[in-house]
Amino acid sequence: MAEPIRDVTIIGGGPAGLYSAFYSGLRGMDARLIEAREELGGKVCLFREKMIWDAGGQPPLQGETFRRQLIEQGKTFGPEVLTGTKIAAIRKNGQGLFEAQDHRGRIHLSKAIIMANGGGIVTPQKLRLQGADVAEMDNLHYTMPSLAAFTGKTVLISGGGDAAVDWADELSGIAAKVILVHRRDNFCAHEAQVEKVRSNGTDIMLNVTIHRLLSDAAKTRIELVELMDTESGALTRVEVDDVVVSHGYERDSELAFEPEPLRKDSHFFEGGADASTTVPGIFAAGDCLSYTGKVNLLVGAFQDAVNAVNRAKTYIEPEAHDRGMVSSHNDRFKERNRSLIRQIAEEVKSGG
């Protein structure tokens, strides 16, 4: 069966990509969203337990709640969504269509492209120690699954950056004991957060690295962590209930553009505040795009997405308006609004 031709293919399923999918539907565009990971949400997946305060119109909410809401909104107009699909190359064919070729060799056709792939495929750096891969199924973590899951436990956190120090602070008063180990003699996290963990009862061990994981009889759960002093080589064993590793992230940003590559400024696509890139028909949104005045917050990702979709719309249909109609007056929401109003009326009537 021939691959359907979409108006736009969006590469990346994080906040910028999901909002691009939503806004594409708002503008009557048939969208396809492709995400390399098995789940949508982008970097928000790495901070599910963090509270997000700086999203407009939203009270503070946990990352996981925000992620689910982004996905629900992104799917409003029924875009094609492909997860677990890595795009290896993007080219323009003789018919003027863009071909996005995935890692399986499948070609996805569209009239325009929106790059929303952040810094590439972000994966936490893992411990390369015997037994670590098995323990991932139990009490070895590279992201924080749930703060409540650590209630009353002894938790060892390895890392010296903002994430590791933040988690140590978050778990204070929840876990029975927090041990923060770092291979250097000082942290690279923000000094205000470091001061918090120095004063909240966290057991801090510097110039120390994880040397060995000692498991239970079934070899699936870590019971002891053997630590090595990076200066003396001395070994110490610590009993733990859980281990959290925060050693940074590995990024896979390999993607070929044929025949003309997108120009980059370091790791980011060069472009404009209007979401343009150096190749006509390819637009960008979110962390992957660099321009003067860039806002590196969620609100900036949403603005980039709106601009990228509007530019894609006029690229495909030059006679189209350069901006979408606001949702309160948009015909695409009329029936949905009536349905919601009826639902609210019923809830009020029933005392809900």
pLDDT tens, the chain, 352 aa long = 457 999 999 999 999 999 999 999 999 999 999 999 999 999 888 888 888 888 888 899 989 999 999 999 999 999 999 999 999 999 999 999 999 999 999 999 999 999 999 877 667 888 888 878 877 778 899 887 788 889 999 999 999 999 899 999 999 989 999 999 999 999 988 889 899 999 999 999 999 999 999 887 667 789 999 999 999 999 999 999 999 999 987 776 678 888 778 888 777 899 999 999 999 999 999 999 989 999 988 999 999 999 999 999 999 999 999 988 888 777 778 777 888 888 888 888 877 5
CB 18 within 8 A of CB 33: yes
35 in a known ligand binding site: yes
Whole-angstrom distance, CA of residue 276 vs CA of residue 289: 9
| Residue 244, amino acid | V
CB 205 within 8 A of CB 225: no
Hey, how many other C-beta atoms are within 10 angstroms of the C-beta on 332? 15
CB 10 within 8 A of CB 282: no
Q: Where are the domains of the chain?
A: 5-122+250-321, 126-247
283 in a known ligand binding site: no
102 in a known ligand binding site: no
Q: In whole numbers, what is the pLDDT of the chain averaged over residues?
A: 90
Q: What does residue 343 show for φ and ψ, rounded to 5 degrees?
A: -65, -45
Q: Which of 192, 180, 159 is nearest to 238 (CA)?
A: 180
Of all residues in the chain, what percent are helix, strand and coil, respectively (each to 5)? 30, 30, 40
Name 110's bridge partners.
6, 98
270 in a known ligand binding site: no
pLDDT of residue 7: 98
pLDDT of residue 49: 81
Which CATH number is 126-247 given?
A: 3.50.50.60
CB 131 within 8 A of CB 139: no
The fourth-level CATH superfamily of domain 5-122+250-321 is: FAD/NAD(P)-binding domain (3.50.50.60)
CB 144 within 8 A of CB 163: no
Residue carrying the six token digits 């140590």: 168
pLDDT of residue 43: 86
pLDDT of residue 253: 62
Which residues contact residue 128 at a Cβ distance below 8 angstroms, ignoring those fewer than 6 apart? none
Q: Which of 75, 108, 70 is nearest to 301 (CA)?
A: 70
Angle at 76 between CA 75 and CA 78, to 5 degrees: 60
Q: Which of 282, 320, 324 is nearest to 303 (CA)?
A: 324
Q: What is the pLDDT of residues 211-266, one digit of tens each?
A: 999 887 667 789 999 999 999 999 999 999 999 999 987 776 678 888 778 888 77
327 in a known ligand binding site: no
87 in a known ligand binding site: yes
